[in-house]
Amino acid sequence: MRKNIFKLIKAALAFTALATMLVLAGCGSDNEKSSAKKESAPPPDPTINVQLDYKIEPEGGNQYKVSGTTNLPDGIELMVELDNRNQIVAQAGYPEDTAGDKLPDDLLIKIANTAYTGSDKPAVKNGKFESTFSGENLKPGEYYLTFSTPLWRIMKNEDVKKKLGEGCKYLEGKGVVDSDMKDGGKVIRIREKVNLQ
């Protein structure tokens, strides 16, 4: 009988020791638990799949407003250009983007006197941007509207540069191209024909 009591006491002690170890293993401070969770969670994907939507509205008196939304970081400067030089060249029977030295003088004079070229550099704020274009030669008709970004290395906003990654390596999608400049990284170039009413 004495042996059975010792066996019972020994079994009870072993069970108590095992239960204590399990309880202690499951315990830990909230900081330890949350840091373990933080370490196990993968970092967020920094990729920006470019989205840019816009609309053009007449403002009256040879003036138009280009406004839009984008998922590009707040603070990035967009270059927005509006021009109809190529349309004048095409109307004269030459291919669009024909170099000026390949065009006759009378056409160059017409372009100089009647073409419209305007540009603006709005900064994105709260995912939105806006530019206004005006001028005597800005009339209803067909134009090219171009959106572009500067090279990463000449961007001034450090927060924007960080979000885009060195050389804008995190940019993907609509209008993202490799820069023509050596080591220029990626830039955005979106060029579309638009009809001003």
pLDDT digits (tens, 9 = 90+) for 120-159: 999 999 999 999 999 999 999 999 999 999 999 999 999 9
Torsion of CA 58, 63, 66, 67, to 10 degrees: -80
Return the CATH number of 48-196, one of 3.10.129.10, 3.30.420.40, 3.40.50.1820, 2.60.40.10.
2.60.40.10
Which residues does 76 contact at the CB level (< 8 Å), separation at least 6?
123, 124, 149, 155, 157, 160, 164
Which residue ranges make up each domain of the chain?
2-40, 48-196
CA atoms lying within 13 Å on the CB side of residue 121:
6
Q: Which residue has the higher pLDDT, 182 or 18?
A: 182
Q: Which residues pair with 152 in a beta bridge?
A: none
Q: Is the pLDDT of residue 26 over 60?
A: no
Q: Is the pLDDT of residue 30 over 70?
A: no
